[in-house]
Structure 1
Amino acid sequence: MTVTVFTKPRCPQCEATKRQLTKQGIAFDIVDLVENPSTLEQLQEAGFRQAPVVITPDSSWTGYRPDLIKQLAQQNAAAEVTAEQAQQVLA
């Protein structure tokens, strides 16, 4: 699962989001919006107005959303179980 967190410096919600994703065992990529102004512009054009912006394969949101991070962790765990079961069937 690819998760990208678009952040900015000195952003408490960005830091909280990264901590919670790490706590839930979700791997993620970080994009610093200060270093990527064209990406910031694209996100603003798409309607995002707050950092962090989190993009997953199935959803996106802004701000610190521990409820959505927990849902993402549950989806990730379910996908891992399904993949593990498939491996057992193939073995």
Structure 2
Amino acid sequence: MITVYSKPNCMQCEMSKRYLKDKGIEFKEINVFEDADSLEMLRSAGLTQMPVVMAEGHDPITGFRPNMLAKLGESDD
């Protein structure tokens, strides 16, 4: 499962979600302004730039990184 942690009015968040949708990669979105526990978890891990894209077996991806997002699709069964 891929999780995209995002915040409102974040251009990089929108671009990352659009990229994943365009590539047919399924993901769950969590708005960190609505989920304080998720925000605290990210901060504790030193992840402060949005979006943060997490997928099992991959390092967290911060910001809009299409080259890294493409790898998520490659490993999708």
Common topology (TM > 0.5): yes
Listed as ranges, the matches of 1:4-23 within 5 Å are: 4-23=3-22
Q: Which runs of 5+ in 2 are unaligned?
A: none
Moved over 6 A (4+): none
Superposition RMSD on alpha carbons, in Å?
0.8
**Superposition deviation, residue 65 in structure 1:** 0.8
The structure carrying a bigger helix percent of its residues is: 1
User: Residue deviations 1:26-67, cap 9 Å, x none?
Assistant: 000000000011210111011101000100011211111100
| TM-score, reference length from structure 1 | 0.79
- Deviation of 1:18 after TM superposition, in Å, equals 0.2
Say which structure, 1 or 2, has more relative contact order (CA 8 Å, 6+ apart): 2
Bigger share in strand: 2
Ranges in structure 1 where 5+ consecutive residues have no aligned partner? 80-91
Q: How many residues align?
A: 76
